[in-house]
């Protein structure tokens, strides 16, 4: 999985700069189809629209040293670890990846992000930064992997300190969280 945007490999004032990612799936499909050396199999925009580009059985140039063994999916997104991933986009991604996995018998552990397969780095503000950080630090991997595995994802549920029939510890001003399956 990739995001359209990500670090643009420039370092201003000791910070990694991220490029923008406006537009929809159709716009980015046209971009990749016109690009002289980049290509992609699918693009999914924030509204969950999927645009197919290079056929899956052909190589798309999207992930250094992994193009011949992978299906590239771009998510129209900042990839900056801040912008939330819209539900419609994640739902479309899950449907698409399920379908691809079924057609090509791809194990769950082989569903990876761009950052997992491209480990190149650059220097910024005295630090070493990964060139490819997408799909981003806030990508919902647990939710996506659980859905692809056919399990319900586990989400935290906040409990308040309201006493419930004299439960021990209730009313002490403590907040706890439990994990519960998403319904």
Domain that holds residue 174: 152-183
The more confident residue out of 143 and 125 is 143
* 78 and 129 both lie in a single domain: yes
Q: Are residues 133 and 169 in the same domain?
A: no
Is 74 found in the same domain as 43?
Answer: yes
Count of domains for the chain: 2
Q: How high is the pLDDT of residue 174?
A: 37
Is there a single domain that holds both residue 105 and residue 32? Answer: yes
Mean of the pLDDT values across residues 97-126?
A: 84
Let me know whether 80 and 121 are in one domain: yes
Asked if residue 55 has pLDDT above 60, the reply is: yes
What does the alpha-carbon distance between residue 127 and residue 136 come to, in Å, rounded to a whole number?
Answer: 18
Residue 134's pLDDT band (boundaries 50, 70, 90)?
low
Kindly report the CATH number assigned to the domain that includes residue 67.
Answer: 3.40.80.10
Q: What is the mean pLDDT of residues 34-51?
A: 87
Q: Say whether both 60 and 130 belong to one domain.
A: yes
pLDDT tens across 137-176, in order? 788 999 999 999 997 655 544 444 444 444 444 443 434 3
pLDDT digits (tens, 9 = 90+) for 82-110: 889 999 999 999 999 999 999 999 999 99
Identify whether residues 64 and 78 lie together within a single domain. yes
Residue 113 has pLDDT above 90, yes or no: no
Do 127 and 99 reside in the same domain of the chain?
yes
Q: Tell me, yes or no, whether 22 and 57 share the same domain.
A: yes
Q: Which residue has the higher pLDDT, 38 or 172?
A: 38
Task: Assess whether 111 and 29 both reside in one domain.
Answer: yes
Summarize the confidence of residues 48-54 as an average pLDDT: 91
Whether 70 and 130 share a structural domain: yes
State whether 141 and 165 are in the same domain: no
Q: What is the pTM of this model?
A: 0.68
């Amino acid at each position: 999985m990739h995001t359209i945007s990500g670090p643009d490999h420039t370092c201003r004032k000791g910070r990694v700069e991220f490029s923008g990612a406006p537009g929809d799936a159709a716009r980015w499909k046209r971009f990749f189809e016109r690009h002289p050396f980049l290509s992609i199999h699918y693009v999914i925009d924030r509204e969950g629209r999927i645009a197919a580009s290079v056929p899956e059985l052909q190589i798309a140039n999207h992930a250094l040293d992994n193009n011949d063994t992978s299906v590239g999916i771009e998510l129209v997104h900042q990839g900056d670890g801040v912008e939330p991933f819209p539900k419609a986009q994640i739902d479309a991604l899950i449907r698409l990846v399920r379908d691809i996995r079924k057609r090509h018998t791809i194990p769950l552990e082989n569903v990876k992000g761009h950052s997992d397969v491209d480990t190149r780095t650059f220097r910024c503000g005295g630090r070493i930064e990964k060139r490819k950080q997408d799909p981003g630090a806030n990508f919902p991997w647990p939710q996506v992997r659980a859905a692809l595995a056919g399990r319900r994802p586990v989400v935290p549920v906040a409990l308040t300190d309201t006493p419930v029939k004299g439960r021990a510890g209730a009313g002490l001003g403590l907040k706890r969280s439990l994990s519960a399956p998403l319904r």
